[in-house]
Every structure is written in structure tokens, then in C-alpha cells.
Amino acid sequence: MPETIYDALHESHETQRSLCRRMLRSKPGTEDRIALFTSLRIELAAHAAAEERFLYVPILMDDMGLNSSRHALHEHHEIDELVEDIQSLDPRGAAWLKKARELSEKVHHHLREEEKKFFQVSGKILSATKKTQLARQYRRGYARMTKKLRAE
């Protein structure tokens, strides 16, 4: 059975969940904490860019998907703002950990909601062929964004 957009997205979702857990368990101010946050930041940004282009946009064009797409885009924006806030904090401090927990909670909430609600709505809109095509486009976009973000 060919890979669908949902298979590709779920793989990234699991990576995000793992990075959040590992980051929160890391020791304050260590290279490990900084590396985990950097990996999470890149993962979130590459995933969001590719997901928005190759899933949200097609769903946004359908009346049935308008509200759920807008909501998902809003949550991506909130996650981006939390990442920016964390970047300005000392990774040894309590404020950093508090904000990192907030980010983790927001990411977990968004992924649950997306997998339980958005995937179902979009699954009714997209054809089987389109789901497979979007998976390929998402993978290419995700790889390109990941490479670009790592080089910055």
C-alpha cells in the first residue's frame, strides 16, 4: 500500500513527541538540552512549513476544511511564538523549563487534535491518489526545509 500524507505526518509527529519528552528530561544548561531544543525547533519548523503547503492549503480550499485549517494554522503560529520565547531564555533557568513545558503541552495538544480531528476531515476531502501525491510532496518539502534550517 502506498504511503499517504498521514503516514508521513505521523512519523514527524512521533519525532516531535520524542524530542519534547527528551528535552524536558534533560539537565539544565547542558549541551544535550541545547541540542535537543535545536533539533525540536528545526523539526517543528520544517514540519509546519511542509504540512501547511501540502496539506493545509488543499484543505483550506474546500469549504468543509476551512475552519479546521484555520485553527491548525493558528496553533502553528502559537508554537512558533513559544519557540521564539524559549530562544531568548537561559537554558539553565526555571523560566526556560516553564516555557519548554508550555511548548511541549501545546505541541502534544496540536498533534492529538490534528490526528483525531483534522486527519478525519481532510480524509473526506482528499482522494486516495491525492493523499499519496501529497505524501511525496510533503517529504520533498520537509527534507528541503530541514536542510535549509540546519544550514542557518
Query: Residue ranges per domain, the chain?
Result: 5-151
**H helices present in 1-152, as ranges:** 5-25, 31-51, 57-60, 66-87, 94-113, 119-125, 128-151
Distance, first Cα to last Cα, the chain? 37
- The least confident of 89-93, 100-104, 135-139 is 89-93
Q: Across the chain, what does the average pLDDT equal?
A: 97
How confident is the model at residue 143, as a pLDDT?
98
How confident is the model at residue 82, as a pLDDT?
98
In angstroms, the CA 133 to CA 130 distance is 5
How confident is the model at residue 124, as a pLDDT?
97
Q: Where do we find the cell 496540536?
A: 110
pLDDT digits (tens, 9 = 90+) for 32-68: 999 999 999 999 999 999 999 999 999 999 999 999 9
Q: Taking residues 103-129, report their average pLDDT.
A: 97
pLDDT above 90: residue 77? yes
In angstroms, the CA 22 to CA 38 distance is 12
Q: Taking residues 13-24, report their average pLDDT.
A: 98
Which residue pairs from 28-34 have beta carbons closer than 8 angstroms and sit at least 24 positions apart in sequence? 28/91, 28/92, 28/93, 28/96, 28/97, 29/90, 29/91, 29/92, 33/91, 34/91
CATH 3.90.550.10 for domain 5-151: no
Who's near 135: CB < 8 A, 6+ residues apart?
2, 3, 4, 5, 7, 8
pLDDT above 90: residue 1? no
Who's near 63: CB < 8 A, 6+ residues apart?
none
pLDDT digits (tens, 9 = 90+) for 78-97: 999 999 999 999 999 999 99
